[in-house]
Amino acid sequence: MSSATNQHLHGVLPVLHTPLTEEESIDVPTLQREVDWAFEVGADGVVIAMVSEITRLGYQRRRELAEHVCRSVGGRGFVVVSVGAESTRESIELARHAEALGVDAVMAIPPVTTRLGGTAVRDYFAAIARSVSVPLLVQDASSYVGMAIDLGVYVSLLDEFGPKRIQFKPEASPLGPNLSRLRDATDGSARIFEGSGGINLVDCHRRGIVGTMPGTDLLDAVVALWRALESGDEERIYRLSLPLSAIVALQLQAGLDGFVTIEKYLLHKRGIFPHRRLVGPAGWEIDDETAAEVDRLFDRLQAAL
């Protein structure tokens, strides 16, 4: 069980990338190195979610990844595992498995292969929440997959389960105004996380988020930026956020594959990953010119640190 279990989920919670062997099994030693590095640079916990490539890992490898991560963390911080799936039953099975491992919260996106109305989306999340005792983070990943979640679904879930059991990671565009709508509709009681990779972190922090879920690749910069935001160091905030945002802008060009590809490129560049292998098939590969620009911006970001 995580040492953070009896605290409110908060802070910088990076989404781990899944290192793979040549046979596309999980590279456990590299995963351990990634988790260790996350805590070395100041993460408050770790997350398994979309850029962990869970939609391509399949049911069994998702469970294996959760098991390896919980073992690797060893009580050093929060663990959040995404359990969204195309069926309510599978989501519940994944949620119960994660809870049995001792996670601090589960997270879920709605199914993406069917168009659900507000009532069906609400019922899906409510069923997951009722199946476990840990908090559920309701994630709207519609900026790159699925449909936006109606504000009424958020409010209804919060009314039924309360802010300790239901928390939120809204990502529908425009992110900042939508986040403020959720905050205001719940009289500030909603606990909200953002997951823009850093490009919207400054704006979202000013709107009252309790935490951020970036990729692991630029974690040292995001931790430094979060601390600058918490302390109100305006000069350092923008010195860090501008090159960070420029890198994320390049990732955004190719959607989810853009994030995963460039993030694994940077983890390889840092020496944390031995290679950049993705779960296939992937729809985009980084070209030499994009890589060169990432390198230039990364150097500027490291200089700002």
Nearest alpha-carbon partner for 49 in 195, 166, 176: 195
Buried b (16+ CB within 10 A) or exposed e, 47-57: bbbbbbbbbbb
In the chain, the amino acid numbered 299 is: D
Q: Where are the alpha helices (DSSP H) in 132-199?
A: 151-161, 175-185
Helix, strand, coil share (%) of the chain residues, nearest 5: 50, 10, 35
β pairing state of 136-140 and 105-108? parallel
186: Cα within 13 Å, side-chain hemisphere: 28
In order of 104, 203, 213, 282, 288, the CA distances from 51 in angstroms are 19, 22, 11, 12, 22
Question: Is 213 labelled as part of a ligand binding site?
Answer: yes
* Phi, then psi, of 88 in degrees rounded to 5: -60, -40
> Measured between alpha carbons, how far is 230 from 123 in angstroms, rounded to an integer?
36
d(CA 92, CA 139): 16
Binding residues for pyruvate: 213
Binding residues: 213
